[in-house]
């Protein structure tokens, strides 16, 4: 399968994943059309993260189909899928603590634009061109995601929310066509979590990718996603447009079970506006 350009189409059909005697995913179906943002929600243990692991190739299903742009990819390794533009994030954002934001992003850009050791050592024209291109890419993503003021801070000095933004900036530099986001707001303060809605929209605009998002912040999912999938015990309980799912009695019984107000982003109910960029506090996190 050759690499394509533009957002990818993902189709997963009748997936089954077993961990020993435990069935983590059972007959799961999903279609993410090119350029869509699809949100997976459900209680802990419902199989959401396992679905991302299967889509990225980290976990092999015992049954089912995974098609990327109409081509079967179930047998491809994670690095082979990455070459096709499949990029996955993780809940635990691990960045080199002693590197600055700029250096962290330059390291990521190095992966996308590899240059031979000899060319780099001798500073041959190809290496110099690649270095200029990497710095242009880093400058662009720093500006797009509001990281300019943190460019020269070490990542260990940043709040959890800002480190998440740096992680997302690294993802942009990887050039995703299918972006698998695993709880990007995990462990960050509520005000920063609310700021992630415009931030993730910007990420979507900048990458032009298809996004499959696992998130426990239900208001964020309903505000951001074009399609919402509710999971329980490894299966799909309800799926469709947010306004349809929020009224689905099966979704309410399985996971939502809340008033209409609880599904609305706090900031839209009269709370003070929050920054749409990175955290404004560059000091070390109290709870990294």
pLDDT per residue over 101-151, tens digit each?
999 898 877 766 555 545 555 566 666 676 777 888 899 889 888 899 999
DSSP secondary structure letters along 91-111: SS----TTSBHHHHHHHHHHH
Location of structure tokens 């003070």: 272
Contacts of 276 (CB under 8 A, 6+ apart): 146, 195, 198, 199, 202
- Domain boundaries of the chain, sorted by first residue: 10-269
DSSP three-state, residue 212: strand
Whether the model clears a pTM of 0.95, i.e. scores above it, the answer is no
Q: Yes or no: is domain 10-269 CATH 3.40.50.300? A: yes
Distance, in Å, from the CA atom of 242 to the CA atom of 264, rounded to the nearest integer, reads 11
For the beta sheet containing 37-41, the strands, ordered from the edge strand earlier in sequence to the opposite edge, are: 86-88, 178-182, 210-214, 37-41, 227-232, 235-240
* Predicted confidence (pLDDT) per residue in 197-209, tens digit: 888 999 999 999 9
Mean pLDDT calculated for residue range 43-72: 94
CA-based nearest residue to 67, from 17, 27, 15:
15
β-bridge mates for residue 16, sequence order? 26, 63
Specify the higher pLDDT residue, 224 or 264. Answer: 224
Computed over every residue of the chain, the mean pLDDT equals 82
Angle (nearest 5°) at CA 279 between 275 and 285: 150
State the pLDDT confidence band at 93, using cuts at 50, 70 and 90.
low
Minimum mean pLDDT range among 1-15, 93-107, 164-178, 272-286: 272-286
């Amino acid at each position: 399968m050759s690499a394509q350009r533009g957002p990818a189409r993902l189709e997963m059909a009748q997936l089954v994943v077993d961990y020993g005697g435990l069935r983590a995913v059972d007959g799961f179906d999903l279609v993410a059309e090119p350029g869509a943002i699809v949100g997976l929600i459900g209680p802990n243990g419902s199989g959401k993260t396992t679905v991302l692991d299967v889509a990225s190739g980290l976990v092999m299903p015992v049954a089912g189909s995974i098609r990327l742009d109409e081509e079967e990819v179930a047998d491809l390794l994670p690095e082979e899928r990455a070459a096709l533009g499949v990029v996955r994030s993780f809940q635990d954002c691990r960045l080199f603590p002693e590197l600055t934001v700029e250096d962290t992003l330059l390291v990521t850009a190095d992966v996308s634009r590899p240059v031979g050791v000899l060319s780099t050592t001798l500073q041959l024209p190809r290496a110099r061109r690649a270095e200029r291109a990497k710095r242009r890419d880093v400058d662009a993503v720093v500006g797009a995601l509001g990281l300019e003021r943190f460019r020269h801070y070490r990542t260990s000095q940043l709040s959890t929310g800002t480190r998440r933004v740096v992680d997302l900036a690294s993802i942009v530099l990887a050039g995703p066509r299918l972006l698998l986001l695993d709880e990007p707001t995990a462990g960050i303060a509520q005000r920063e979590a609310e700021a992630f809605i415009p931030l993730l929209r910007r990420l979507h605009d900048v990458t032009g990718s298809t996004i499959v998002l696992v998130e426990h912040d239900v208001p964020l999912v309903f505000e951001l996603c074009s399609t919402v999938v509710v999971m329980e015990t490894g299966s799909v309980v309800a799926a469709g447009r947010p306004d349809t799912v929020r009224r689905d009695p099966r979704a309410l019984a399985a996971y939502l079970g809340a008033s209409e107000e609880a599904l609305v982003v706090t900031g839209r109910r009269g709370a003070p506006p929050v920054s749409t960029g990175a955290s404004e506090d560059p000091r070390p996190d109290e709870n990294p």
